[in-house]
A and B are shown apart, each in its own frame.
Chain A
Amino acid sequence: MSASLNITSAVVDPALLDLPWNLPLDSWPDDAIVTLPKGISRHLVRFVHLSGYVVAIKETTEEMARREYDMLRTLQRLDAPCVEPVAVITGRASDDGAELMPVLVTRHLRFSLPYRALYSQTLRPSTATRLVDALAVLLVRLHLAGFFWGDVSLSNTLFRRDAGAFAAYLVDAETGQLYEGGLSNGQRENDLEIARVNIAGELLDLEAGGRLDENIDAIDVSNGIVEAYRSLWSELTGWEAFDQTERWRITQRVERLNDLGFDIEELAITTAGDSTQVRIKPKVVDAGHHSRRLLRLTGIDAGENQARRLLNDLDSYAAASYPGSDVDEEQVAHEWLSRVFEPVIRAIPRELRGKLEEPEVFHQLLEHRWYLSQNESRAISLAEALSSYIDSVLRHRRDEATVIAPVTESIGVPTLDTAAMPVIDDADSDAPGSWRDKI
């Protein structure tokens, strides 16, 4: 190993040193690699087990690795949903002294999935729409933090199941830039246009590969991000004017935002001189309203929609257990946790625990109970629903704790030595017929 190996890392994990840094990433031994990424991405990315978790390792230039590492750390400090940077490693050299490319190491988000892992045969319309909606929320959150992404796409995002919806996380911050004074409308519009075009490209590519449900219009779905983004953005940041007598509308706006999963940290309220008009505008909003409440009450770390679902169950539990009484919220939460949530989680056989995150299991169990009750037209107990759920649903799912699929299956424009890029001489890859028919 090179004597000058240089590791920059906030939390040094000694296990990092044991990896074969003296070999180019593409020739790392199979025992180090979790699963080979398929396809060709802009940079070589591979996944490796490291003391109990999985990391993604990307070979790139030193400048880009450091920039992205710093950017991801900043985004984490801002509480933006993104992957966790682990280290930048430079000064790599092979045993014969040849210089090897620097790498960026990020931690794989447990239970997160690339969009290409979210369908078995073809991508269904409802899934496509939920992916686009999740990406719109992510984009709004990043823009609120002053982050211009520059390469918004499904490929650069990871998705976690979130009680019937998805929560999106930024994976690739290479092109991003943070603006202290916030983004201009032009910058936001540009990111949105990039998102629209990239999503369309990704869906059209699935279509070309026969992987898109025939009921999906790729262009319609990609246009959906514009609408989803705009309506959320204006709800979160827009002015609202009303008469002095309608001051309840302030509370209403706050509640609407809470329902969307956002808390208001500051609200600007203005009244114009002698007018009776009041104008309000949220100044600082923070995502994770339900997640934070659930975490505070129970210590459960869940996605926003999962948290909403669990809190609903907690509220019904309180109403059923203490009808009409004003009982301490934290006390009930503790009770619900030990009498409802934890017994369910403990009942999941150990070998099935890698299938889904705990809050997602609980959410699905509640769904399952609802369907059973509907079918049998009677009230089903949680215990009864649980055994049915484990045997008829959970057991048949794949493990999603560390689904490793390529971060991106798109082929990038080379930024590195082109001679090293594989050219696949594959005459079969020529589309049969003329390109004119397909364009």
Chain B
Amino acid sequence: MASVKYDKATRLYPGSTVPAVDALDLDIADGEFLVLVGPSGCGKSTSLRMLAGLEEVNAGDIFIGDRNVTDIPPKDRDIAMVFQNYALYPHMSVAENMGFALKIAGVNKDERATRVLEAAKLLDLEPYLDRKPKALSGGQRQRVAMGRAIVRQPQVFLMDEPLSNLDAKLRVQTRTQIASLQRRLGVTTVYVTHDQTEALTMGDRICVLKDGILQQVGTPRELYETPNNVFVAGFIGSPAMNLFPAELADGGVKFGTAVTPVERSVIDAAGGKVVTVGVRPEDLIVSTSGNGLPVEVDIVEELGADGYLYGHADVVGQRVDIVARVDGRVHPHSGETVFITPEPKHVHVFNAESGERLNSAVAIG
């Protein structure tokens, strides 16, 4: 097992002037589950493929442990790409299916048996080692495929959108399986997804990329509570954080008729009269009268105990969409006007121009 380090690693595709991955600096600890996430074209898959040796690194270096692997061919990097369309062979037993790649690699028979047994125990497949794949359930077949990667005992597992072809139900099941298996194995894992929910539920840490540039890396909680900029704020969390312009007032920012206090230093740092504020749907207080930002309710989505109110407001001359969490049973209805204010300690303030965060971490809990 090993750590992974990207040291100003850059990938510039031939004929392009903008790097697909731009001077990526990233340290991944030994045994860590790191998720690379971002929208299509952000460079997450390219970053993974650079680590796998499938993409050239035009500048900078990549290390696995202490070894600089920048110019080492993929098969000599001691990594395993998991879920690369593994097929199971019908005439071979579960044990043979899991172990045949070791045979090709010249691993001796005793060692093959030891590693296969070890992996089978981890995957709850020990009773089935003599079985043929057709006598296994779908979930067991998937675990055999994982076993094929595990027995190789690679330094690093790489997974590129492994769940994208699964149906919704299987995706959720497999997500949990992969995450718990990775924790049991303790093998450093780099996982690529475009789905922020997958990232939040699986990763020890998440690295958000956009246009080839690292936006923020941190634990799911850090990214959720303290997004570095407007992009991360809007990308992480579902429904997404409300982000809209707000005017500064004495000692705070204006929410319609209300003023929510923010630190003096934030106001000084803003450098203008308007900032971008972010409030998560669960951090908005909705009232039918009184102070706050007037919001016209478009629709309320009931989800049982909770519901989400979707509406719109007029802020600094712009129409903005607002989402707020409300009680699932007692809530306003479409067409009504409600007033919203944020939980005072849960306002994220960003520079209106650069999108960078201005205030310190919001209170947790």
Residues on A lying within 8 angstroms of B by beta carbon are: 39-40, 42, 61, 63-64, 150-151, 153, 155, 174-175, 180-182, 184-187, 189-190, 193-194, 196-198, 200-202, 204-206, 208-209, 219, 222, 408-419, 421, 423-426, 429-431, 433-436, 438-439
Contact = CB atoms under 8 A, between A and B. Distances in A.
Interface string B278-295: 000000000000000000
22 contacts: A40-B90, A40-B134, A150-B84, A151-B84, A181-B13, A186-B54, A186-B56, A189-B75, A197-B101, A197-B104, A201-B100, A411-B89, A411-B90, A413-B85, A417-B167, A417-B169, A418-B142, A421-B137, A423-B136, A431-B93, A434-B130, A439-B95
Question: A-B pairs with the 10 shortest C-beta distances?
Answer: A418-B138, A435-B95, A209-B91, A205-B89, A410-B87, A208-B91, A181-B14, A414-B138, A429-B132, A435-B129
B237 to A, nearest CB: 25
| Interface size grouping (class) on chain B | 35 or more
Contacts of B54: 184, 186-187, 190
A39 B90 contact: yes
Contact of B52 (A186, A206, A412): A186
Contact of A193 (B74, B116, B133, B167): B74
Contacts of B134: 40, 411, 423-424, 426, 429
Given A204-B92, A205-B92, A439-B109, A153 B87 contact: yes
Given A181-B14, A184-B54, A206-B91, A414 B130 contact: no
Interface in B29-58: 49, 52-56
Nearest to A38: B90
A417 B139 CA distance: 10
A278 to B, nearest CB: 26
Interface of B: 13-15, 49, 52-56, 73-75, 83-96, 99-101, 103-104, 109, 112-113, 116, 129-139, 141-142, 145, 165-167, 169-170
A189 B52 CA distance: 11
B87 A181 contact: no
A173 B138 CA distance: 23
Contact of B75 (A153, A193, A204): A193
Contacts of A153: 87
Contacts of B136: 423
B170 A416 contact: yes
Given A410-B88, A411-B87, A439-B103, 17 more contacts: A61-B165, A153-B87, A175-B85, A186-B53, A187-B54, A196-B104, A197-B104, A201-B92, A205-B89, A208-B96, A411-B141, A413-B87, A414-B170, A415-B167, A415-B170, A418-B170, A421-B141
A414 B141 contact: yes
A421 B167 CA distance: 13
A200 B89 contact: no
Nearest to B131: A430
Specify which of A198, A408, A433, A439 lies most central, judged by the most chain B CB atoms within 10 Å of its CB.
A439
Contact of B86 (A174, A413, A416): A413
Given A186-B54, A417-B169, A435-B129, A200 B75 contact: no
Nearest to B102: A439
Nearest to B93: A431
Nearest to B134: A424
B96 A439 contact: yes
B139 A418 contact: yes
B20 to A, nearest CB: 11
Given A421-B138, A435-B95, A198 B87 contact: yes
B26 to A, nearest CB: 19
